[in-house]
Amino acid sequence: MTELAIHAQLDRRAVVDGDALPWQDSPAPGVQRRMLERDGGERARATSVVRYAPGSRFSPHRHDGGEELFVLEGVLEDEFGTYGTGTYIMNPPGTAHTPASALGCVLWVKLRHLGPEHGERVVVDTQAAVWRPGLVPGLAVLPLGSHGTQHTALVRWAPGTRFQRHQHWGGEEIYVLSGVFEDEHGRYPAGHWLRSPHLSQHTPFSDEGCTILVKTGHLL
């Protein structure tokens, strides 16, 4: 794969309707990707939606810069376990595996953005986990991982929920899993990906309600 630069400048805001992007073949037969951001070739810092056809598998590979993934649909497998819809996985730098899917699956995947402080593998079944109350009424939070300045969580907004204006130290990245997320800059239905750079500000809300996957503090 040739070198690619897709929303590669981390100091710039980016908004992508992921569902409108074409599926592109990966090196593995039956595995396709929608590229949300990318800086490099096959060994790239990248955020993607990845689709495995039933019976497909990726070759064994090592995550030099780590990996985070969230199972959006279906069931993913590797030599360490089986992961159904709603499972979050953090594979630290230096780990390796051979992912596959007998039934097929769709994943949100983020690559090569973790440091040596991410030393222990994390697996969370968010379907069975306990949510915590958020900072404002109508908001619920499910922490997934926290290392140094980086934090990953699911955040659920009840219809009509509003949050105060705030600044993103280290930036913020959002993938809308369901419903419609909003702020003064726009309206983002399910499948949208947003990246807000270090020290950016906004006033988010959701009139219809939504669930979002949020990562903060990784864009310093």
Shared-domain flag, residues 144 and 121: no
Q: Of 75, 94, 125, at which residue does a domain stop?
A: 125
Q: Of 125, 156, 181, at which residue does a domain stop?
A: 125
The domain in which residue 208 lies consists of: 132-216
Shared-domain flag, residues 116 and 35: yes
The answer to whether the beta carbons of residues 64 and 43 sit under 8 Å apart is yes
Shared-domain flag, residues 178 and 142: yes
- Say which residues have a Cβ less than 8 Å from residue 148's Cβ, sequence separation at least 6: 115, 117, 217
Q: What is the pTM of this model?
A: 0.95
Q: What is the mean pLDDT of the chain?
A: 93
At 2 the pLDDT is 55
Residue with tokens 């990784």: 218
Stretch 159-165: mean pLDDT, rounded?
97
What total number of domains does the chain contain? 2
Shared-domain flag, residues 41 and 148: no
At 55 the pLDDT is 97
pLDDT for 79-122, tens place per residue? Answer: 999 999 999 999 988 888 899 999 999 999 998 787 677 678 89
| Joined tokens for residue 210 | 């939504």
Say if residue 1's pLDDT is above 60: no
At 114 the pLDDT is 76
Shared-domain flag, residues 95 and 145: no
pLDDT top residue among 178 and 91: 178
At 64 the pLDDT is 83
Provide the percentage of residues in the chain whose pLDDT is more than 70: 96
Stretch 177-202: mean pLDDT, rounded?
97
pLDDT for 11-64, tens place per residue? Answer: 999 999 999 999 999 999 999 999 999 987 767 788 999 999 999 999 888 888
pLDDT for 113-157, tens place per residue? Answer: 876 776 788 999 999 999 999 999 999 999 998 888 889 999 999
Cα dihedral sign, 4-9-10-15: negative
Provide the percentage of residues in the chain whose pLDDT is more than 90: 76
Shared-domain flag, residues 105 and 55: yes
Shared-domain flag, residues 87 and 171: no
Report residue 20: phi and psi, to 5°.
-90, -10
Can you spell out the DSSP letters for 59-125?
A: PPEEETT-EEEEEEEE-EEETTEEE-TTEEEEE-TTEEE--EESS-EEEEEEES---TT--S-EEEE
